[in-house]
Amino acid sequence: MTNLDAVIKGFAAHYGSDPQGVWQAPGRVNVIGEHTDYNDGFMLPIAIPQAARVAATRRDDGVLRLHSAQSPQNTGTQNTGTQNTGTQGTETAELRVTELSPRTVGGWAGYPAGVVWALLDAGHQVGGADLFFDSDVPVGGGLSSSAALECAVAFAYNDLYRLGLTPTELALLAQRAENVFVGVPCGILDQLASSCCAEGAALFVDVRAIDPPQGRTRQVPLDLATAGLVLLVIDTEVKHAHADGAYARRREGCEQAAALLGVPALRDIGREDLDAALARLPEGELRALTRHIVTEDDRVERVTALLDAGDLRGIGPLLTEGHASMRDDFVISCAETDLAVATAVEAGALGARMTGGGFGGSIIALVEREDADRVADAVAAAFAAQGWKPPRAFAVTPAAGAARLA
Ligand code: GLA
């Protein structure tokens, strides 16, 4: 049975009729550009083949029914789509759209409910729906399982209620759902990647110019197969506690540094101005945070230029450098991701780095096709030697962004 058949059948079994349509939104890995989004900077994500799918039928009585094929029991320790480690909520929720208000819906249901709230809050005339979810984006792996859920719902509502919103506008609404309704202070990276990526390409994002007509944000061809390369994702399957609070503190630190430097955001400090800027900040954390953001923006531009020039192998060292910057300056890596990256590079990866918000989750490793198994095995062996549970390795290719499937 295909993924499409499965979600249609699931909808019919649960709600007793066929859905009006099916929409899909992918997870993502970020090739480079971490924590730069809320600093108005640059990122280079790809969408991955793993995606959230939603089968949906519009309801005009204001009732929003949500059901997930992933029950809390069969998604490990977490609910489908939740970023945090709570196990609150069940696989089914029934809500009234007019009663939705921020922070009132816990667990995975908060993401889809938040999108409906964000649409209403922005003045769109939307009502209820019956929604059935099925997702193969690993939860808690730093691969944006929650953004995938949000974007699938945003795209479904856009069609069911004929809103005519663009993928970029839907991404911004999904981010607002997460920021305000769920209460996670994330940037735009995940939702924009899920909504706007294209098959066979990475998406260069300039947060100050995310609408394609503004020119800067654009698709950058990334044909790994023709180059004989594989992008491995190695999910450490660990998510350290307090990740949400640590994320918020990094964000506050960056804002504080920008204020002390008298710029709207750290993006406004160029690589050539970094030393002078650091000298104006107090020694310690604010300097380190600033150094990561400014050098990371620079790495995104350099990686993009190499891809434009067709030098895919050339980006390897910049990926590994990016990991060191997250480990030493931004202090968001952990023993598991550090070991995975170091082992992958020792085993012959061209470059490797943690991807996503940090404190666990997944690493990516760029490898020659013939080295892929060796690199994955080496990381597995290194984890076994520590007595850690086996990481999960799989190859990804740049996939399409969110779309209607049926
Ligand atoms: C998480 C957030 C994103 C971004 C990344 C780090 O995935 O949701 O907005 O800040 O971390 O790059």
Which pLDDT score is estimated for 90? 57
Give the position, in ligand 1's atom list, of the atom nearest the Cα of 147: 8
Which pLDDT score is estimated for 213? 58
Give the position, in ligand 1's atom list, of the atom nearest the Cα of 357: 11
Among candidate residues 23, 31, 5, the one with its CA nearest the CA of residue 353: 31
Residue 190 falls in the annotated catalytic set: yes
Which pLDDT score is estimated for 140? 87
Give the position, in ligand 1's atom list, of the atom nearest the Cα of 38: 10
Report which protein residue has its CA nearest ligand 1's atom 10: 35
> Is residue 73 within 8 Å of 328, Cβ to Cβ?
no
Question: Residue 187 C-alpha to ligand 1 middle, in angstroms?
Answer: 6
Question: Residue 225 C-alpha to ligand 1 middle, in angstroms?
Answer: 27
Which pLDDT score is estimated for 88? 41
Among candidate residues 303, 208, 304, the one with its CA nearest the CA of residue 263: 208
| Catalytic residue (one of 40, 130, 134, 190) | 190
Question: Residue 321 C-alpha to ligand 1 middle, in angstroms?
Answer: 19
Answer left, alpha or beta for residue 268, where phi above 0 means left and psi between -120 and 50 means alpha.
alpha
Which pLDDT score is estimated for 212? 66
CA distance readout (Å), 108 to 71, 165, 244: 10, 24, 16
Question: Residue 356 C-alpha to ligand 1 middle, in angstroms?
Answer: 6
What is the CATH number assigned to the segment(s) 3-220? 3.30.230.10
In this prediction, the residues of the chain whose per-residue pLDDT falls under 70 are 71-90, 212-215
Q: What residue ranges line ligand 1, CB within 6 angstroms?
A: 30, 34-35, 37-38, 186-187, 189-190, 356-357
Measured distance CA(349)–CA(372) in Å, rounded: 8
Give the position, in ligand 1's atom list, of the atom nearest the Cα of 37: 10
Entry field: residues in the chain: 406
Question: Residue 142 C-alpha to ligand 1 middle, in angstroms?
Answer: 9
What is the CATH number assigned to the segment(s) 222-396? 3.30.70.890
Domain boundaries, given as residue ranges, for the chain: 3-220, 222-396
What is the full DSSP assignment across 178-204?
IIIII-----SHHHHHHHH--TTEEEE
> Among 28, 29, 30, 35, which is best to mutate for testing ligand 1, by the most ligand atoms less than 8 A from CB?
35
> Cα 332 vs. chain centroid, distance in angstroms?
16
Which pLDDT score is estimated for 214? 61
Question: Residue 90 C-alpha to ligand 1 middle, in angstroms?
Answer: 26
Give the position, in ligand 1's atom list, of the atom nearest the Cα of 83: 8
Question: Residue 249 C-alpha to ligand 1 middle, in angstroms?
Answer: 13
> Among 151, 182, 190, which is best to mutate for testing ligand 1, by the most ligand atoms less than 8 A from CB?
190
Give the position, in ligand 1's atom list, of the atom nearest the Cα of 35: 12
Which amino acid, residue 395?
A: A
Report which protein residue has its CA nearest ligand 1's atom 11: 357
> Is residue 67 within 8 Å of 132, Cβ to Cβ?
yes
